[in-house]
């Protein structure tokens, strides 16, 4: 299983100094002209996430709270905060900043979360060859579901990162940690990798 080290956030965050993991695995027969990566860091208050994609044909139709953003160009971060507990959050964002925020055990036991005051506010930037999304996940939000969560050096979470566009040109489904080839395979906590807080 893959591993990643989450560095402590420096006072002046420079993403160029944060290691990246590559979202590049899928069962495609032909190479895709698409690539993606993820970077994470943390401090005493939140987990910081940056996902970026290189893709020529960006699809960005959806803007609503209940839209299926994974049909658009989409960058996704799924994570289980507590060892031994397979419940996970899934955060899916398209280039318009539309977000699908879910919580559950699998795709069939997943709740859509729409907080009155969004704790997670994606910021989108377009680049010459793609797009980037950044957001922070406050521990206060995580602790609503996992009161015992308290990140510290040596503590780990289980996670996976994805790049997809179910109705894109071309349709594609890329992941950091390999997942089974089947519908909704992203929603598989057993396939998550391990991320350690440094």
Give me the pLDDT at residue 107, please.
86
Let me know: does 192 contact 79? Beta carbons within 8 Å.
Answer: yes
The CATH number covering residue 114 comes to 2.60.40.1190
The residue range of the domain holding 119 is 3-197
Which tens digit of pLDDT belongs to each residue from 79-128? 999 999 999 999 999 999 999 999 999 988 999 998 777 789 999 999 99
Give me the pLDDT at residue 183, please.
58
Report which DSSP code applies to 25. Answer: B
User: Could you tell me the CA-to-CA distances from 74 to 34, 58, 66, 91, 157 in Å, in that order?
Assistant: 12, 9, 15, 10, 22
Entry pTM: 0.96
Which tens digit of pLDDT belongs to each residue from 24-77? 988 766 778 899 999 999 999 999 999 999 999 999 999 988 899 999 999 999
Question: Total structural domains in the chain?
Answer: 1
61: buried, middle or exposed (CB in 10 Å: 19+, 13-18, 0-12)? middle
């Amino acid at each position: 299983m893959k591993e990643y080290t989450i560095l402590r956030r420096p006072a002046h965050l420079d993403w160029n100094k944060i290691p990246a993991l590559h979202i590049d695995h899928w069962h495609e027969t032909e190479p895709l002209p698409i690539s993606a990566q993820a970077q994470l860091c943390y401090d005493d208050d939140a987990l910081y996430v940056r996902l970026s994609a290189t893709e020529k044909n960006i699809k960005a139709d959806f803007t609503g709270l209940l839209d299926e953003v994974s049909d658009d160009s989409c960058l996704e971060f799924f994570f289980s905060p507590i060892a031994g507990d397979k419940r996970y959050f899934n955060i899916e964002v398209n280039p318009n900043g539309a977000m699908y925020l879910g919580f559950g055990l699998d795709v069939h036991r997943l709740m859509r979360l729409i907080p009155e005051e969004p704790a997670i506010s994606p910021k989108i930037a377009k680049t010459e060859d793609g797009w980037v999304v950044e957001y922070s996940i406050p521990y206060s939000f995580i602790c609503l579901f996992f009161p015992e969560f308290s990140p510290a050096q040596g503590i780990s979470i289980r996670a996976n990162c994805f790049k997809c566009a179910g109705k894109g040109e071309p349709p594609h489904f890329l992941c950091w940690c390999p997942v089974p080839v089947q519908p909704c395979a992203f929603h598989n906590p057993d396939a998550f990798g391990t991320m350690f807080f440094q």
